[in-house]
Structure 1
Amino acid sequence: MNRSTAAVANAFFLFLGVAGLIVQIVSGVPGFPDVPPGPFILGVTGILVLTLSARFRWILFLGVAAPVFILVGALLEGSFWGRLADVGDFGPFAGTALLIGGVIAAAACGVAAVSHAYRRVAVR
């Protein structure tokens, strides 16, 4: 079984979310722990999707769960709205836009990858 385009897109958007988190950390967004878990969660998931999803289809579920987990955490924490509203503070704005856009797109591509991997082929 080959890795689908949706699985590759899922991994790309997971890595985009990592880039967004790194931009936020580097630009000094307050409230990040010394070792934030988000880049590790998204990055390791992206690596697993790229390297193992062709062999183990269930890995694709991680490509949905990880970005949804990060997105729910961001929604519950809530401070990202202020960063998205302040375009003038470019670093935090760009990092947040990359993160939120990346995890939403990763979740959507993850669902498509799971759907592709588990679809039944019609027998005629």
Structure 2
Amino acid sequence: MNRSLVANAFFLFVGVAGLIIQIVSGVPGFPDIPPGPFILGVTGILVLALAARFRWILFLGIAAPLFILVGGLLEGSFWGRLADPGDFGPFLGTALLIGGVIAAAACGVVAVTRAYRRVAAG
């Protein structure tokens, strides 16, 4: 299993941790059953469990974090939570979420590139 694939899944789980911290610390606006932790968590599990067998799963490791990042940016409350480090729970959760999904997407691109380059060369 290549390191970029494992890093992709790890950072997806970091994003899940960030969302859970935000929910637990009482950030307003989350639905009763927020989809973000499920989207990122299930994607991380699929990448770890199935990417060696089905390379196309690696594309989910790029699409899911970008979906969450774009959704959060369009919603717009990221900036307010990041601007107030004194409100530690929402600040930490948002920082983990943003850092996690950006790193996950970057590692996902590397994992896809390596997986498909290996096929083309061999």
TM-score greater than 0.5 by the shorter chain: yes
Unpaired stretches in structure 2, ≥5 consecutive residues: none
Work out the CA distance in 2 between the residues paired with 1:76 and 1:20: 18
Aligned to 2:102: 104
**Secondary structure of the structure 2 residue equivalent to 1:35:** coil
Work out the CA distance in 2 between the residues paired with 1:4 and 1:55: 13
Aligned to 2:121: 121
**Secondary structure of the structure 1 residue equivalent to 2:121:** coil
> What is the number of equivalent residue pairs in this alignment?
120
Amino acid at match of 2:18: G
TM-score after normalising by structure 1: 0.95
**Secondary structure of the structure 2 residue equivalent to 1:34:** coil
Aligned to 1:81: 79
Aligned to 2:70: 72
Work out the CA distance in 2 between the residues paired with 1:61 and 1:31: 29
Work out the CA distance in 1 between the residues paired with 2:63 and 2:31: 22
Tell me by how many angstroms 1:41 deviates.
Answer: 0.1
Amino acid at match of 1:43: G
Tell me by how many angstroms 1:7 deviates.
Answer: 0.5
Work out the CA distance in 1 between the residues paired with 2:99 and 2:76: 15
Aligned to 2:49: 51
Instruction: Give the root-mean-square deviation of aligned CA atoms.
Output: 0.8
TM-score after normalising by structure 2: 0.97
Tell me by how many angstroms 1:4 deviates.
Answer: 1.3
Deviations 1:29-82 (A, max 9, x none): 000000000000000000000000011100000000000000000110010100
Work out the CA distance in 2 between the residues paired with 1:42 and 1:27: 19
Q: Which has the higher helix share?
A: 2
Tell me by how many angstroms 1:109 deviates.
Answer: 0.2
Unpaired stretches in structure 1, ≥5 consecutive residues: none
Tell me by how many angstroms 1:14 deviates.
Answer: 0.1
Tell me by how many angstroms 1:121 deviates.
Answer: 1.9
